[in-house]
Amino acid sequence: MSTNRILFTGGGSAGHVIVNLALIPIFQKEGWEIDYIGSKRGIERNLIEQLKGVTYYPISTGKLRRYMSKENFKDPFKVMKGTMQAWRIIGKRNPSIIFSKGGFVSVPVIMAAKMRGVPAVIHESDFTPGLANKLAIPFANKVLATFPETMKYLPEKKAEYVGAIIRDELFQGNKDKGLELCGFSKAKPVLLIMGGSGGSEKINNTVQASLDELLPVFQIAHICGQGKTDTSINRDGYKQFEYVNEVLKDLFAATDFVLSRAGSNAIFEFLALRKPMLLIPLSKEASRGDQIINAKSFVEKRYARVMEEEELTEDSLVHELSQLKEHAPIMMDNMKNYQSEKARDRVIEIIKNSGKK
């Protein structure tokens, strides 16, 4: 048995991959062999397969829907198939530990890990556990929380509060490169707009309809989502992207303010980088409401302002961004005491201590 082989899993959205992307380079530097189990067509495959030294294994997986669909009847069989595929992969690769970031693809992996007797550690990013992690936690050895308040939702003997894990590379951005990427100057502050890995049409449309009011105040870097850019808009001080990966650190370095969804990984990255943020969480109609709770927690700590999606109009957007700019010094002062390095180091320690001996 290899004592330095780790298997990662997690996917379905960029948020279920980002933490793995933060940890993988550290284990690679220490000589660990890295495997990854993900879905066949999820965003995790695109992000992980481009990493050198990481072997990607796609498996069958269902989708944990919260609405009626005939596909719901097929999903248990897909999960069973995925579990057997994961069981074979784990048997073949024989990792000493499995680390899961959640998402529906992780459920069959954690179940198979239990069947193989391989310890598994789960990391929960949101304020309350997601459905996939709720299903997987009984089969895991350890579950780690990003929010201290999450501990009350987790089994006491397995749970530990660690905080958020932030990618080192995000602290290494170059402001001048970020400005050059967008064609911006240093004359006005930069507002970064992110609607999640899939983008948000409502946020996109409202921002673009408000450019006449916003551009005199901000230069705007807008990550619109795959296939959601509008090529008919060509304005000075407004730059659109479908998705940003390698140069994200430079874009962050050039950013003064953020308008974003309230996915846990993203907002903790903004916190670690001390970026004042206006959050527009996914509504309960479009999600389980986790982003609403995440945003509320940040507002209570005075890290952010929040606006419900139902309240989003051109006028309300312009007003809230004006308020964000006014209250930014207070937010940045409150962010000073947050230290992300401790969370990452503790998670690495837990993973190493939890593996098969």
Length in residues, the chain: 357
Query: Which amino acid does the sequence have at 191?
Result: L
Token pair of 41 as six digits: 């067509």
β-strand pairing of 33-39 with 54-59: parallel
Q: What is the dihedral of CA 191, 199, 223, 339, to 10 degrees?
A: 60
Which residues line the annotated binding site for UDP-N-acetyl-alpha-D-glucosamine?
A: 13-15, 167, 197, 291
Task: Indicate the helix (H) or strand (E) that contains 238.
Answer: strand 238-241
CA 33, CA 132: separation in Å to the nearest integer? Answer: 26
- Name the phi and psi angles at 55, rounded to 5: -95, 125
Contact of 225 with 13, CB cutoff 8 Å = no
Identify the three-state secondary structure at position 211. Answer: helix
Identify the three-state secondary structure at position 194. Answer: strand
The owner of tokens 């001390």 is: 274
